[in-house]
Amino acid sequence: MSTTTPTTPAGPKFYEQTWDLSYKHALGETTSRFLGALTEGKILGRRCPVCERVIVPARSFCDRDHCATTDWVEVGTTGVIEMFTVVYEPFKNLPAPPYALAYATLEGADTALVGYVRGLDLSDQKTAVAALAVGTPVVVKFSDSPTGTAADYWFEPAAGAN
């Protein structure tokens, strides 16, 4: 063995790698029923027997009380915005902006549901943000061609909201 100085160039090289991991996640009975109910135009929650919250979207256990939820509750399809954002930045492999997201508490629910807010002109930021202010009433809309996923519903400002 002898010491040697490499003759190959020292400049930085890159090695491109993509993780191509696929999954088929089991959603369980509760989430499956919630998604199924979307095709019937319904939003379902589950009531916790301890804190008595109606948890939406439906979950089989309450993480606050660490107990199983007990009853199905169909909540309303109208509610109010609790928090929102309007995205203007493109993120790789996420939808093209602009789009609006909000959490809304639906009639009869104690927790807020996340969804897209559609039916708004988002091109002018000031107007869009004002139309989405916390407390704004929204209605849930359902897809005519459901996919069995949480993409099957979204929010729109309630008629006359602004």
Partner 1 sequence: MPPGTDPPAPRPRVAVLAIRREATAREEDRSLEEMIFEVAHDTLADAGLSQATVGGVVLSGNDQSDGRVISCMTSAGPAGGVDSDVTMIASSGEHALAYGWLRLRSGQGDTVLVIGWGKPSEGVNPDYAELVSAEPYVLRAVGMNDTIAAALQASRWTDPATAGDTATVSWPLTADDLPRRGDVVVAAVLAVEGTFSPGRELAWVRGAGWSTENYELGARDVGAQTALDQALAHLARGADSAPAPSTWDSVEIAAPSEPAAARAAGKLGLPTHATVNGSGSLHERLAPAHIAGLDRLLAAAGSVGPGTGTAAGVGFNGFAGQGATVMVFGAPGTKEGVA
Partner 2 sequence: MSVPNVGVLGVGQTPYVNRRTDVTFPELVREGAQLALADAGVTIDDVDAVVFPLAPDALTGTGNGERWCIEALGAAGKPFMRVNNGGATGMSAIIAAWTHVASGEFDVVLVAGAERVSESGSAQSVLNKMWDVGYERPIPLNTITMLALSAVRYMHLHGSDETDMARVTVKNRRHAALNPLAHLRDEVTIEDVLASRTLAWPIKLGDACPSSTGAAGAVLVSERYARANGLDPAWIRGVGQNTETFWMGDRVGPKALQDHGDADALATAFKRAYGQAGLTDPTTQIDVAEIYAPFSSVELHVIEAAGLCGLGESPTRLAKGEFALGAPGPVVNPSGGVLCSNPIAVTGVARLAEATLQVQGRAGAHQVPGARTAVASAIGGDHQFYSTLVLSSDLEDIA
Using CB under 8 A, list all residues that contact partner 2: 12, 14, 17, 19, 23, 25, 27-28, 31, 34-35, 51, 53, 55-57, 59, 63-64, 82-89, 91-95, 99, 101, 103, 105, 110-116, 125, 128-129, 133-134, 149-151
- CA-to-CA distance for 1 and 54, rounded, in angstroms? 74
**Residue nearer to partner 2 on the CB measure, 135 or 159:** 135
DSSP string for residues in 106-121? ETT-SSEEEEEE-SS-
* Straight-line distance from the first to the last Cα atom of the chain, in angstroms, rounded to the nearest whole number: 81
Specify the residue, 139 or 154, whose C-beta has the smaller distance to partner 2.
154
Alpha-carbon torsion, ordered 61, 25, 41, 73, to 10 deg? -10
According to DSSP, residue 41 is labeled T
25 or 126: CB nearest partner 1 = 25
- Please answer whether residues 75 and 56 qualify as being in contact, where contact means their C-beta atoms are separated by less than 8 angstroms: yes
98's tokens: 């602009």
Residues binding partner 1 (CB under 8 A): 15, 17, 19-31, 60-61, 63-67
Nearer to partner 2, 90 or 159 (CB): 90
List the single partner that 50 binds among partner 1, Zn ion, partner 2, none, CB under 5 to 8 Å by kind: Zn ion
Return residues touching Zn ion (CB under 5 A). Answer: 48, 50-51, 62, 64-65
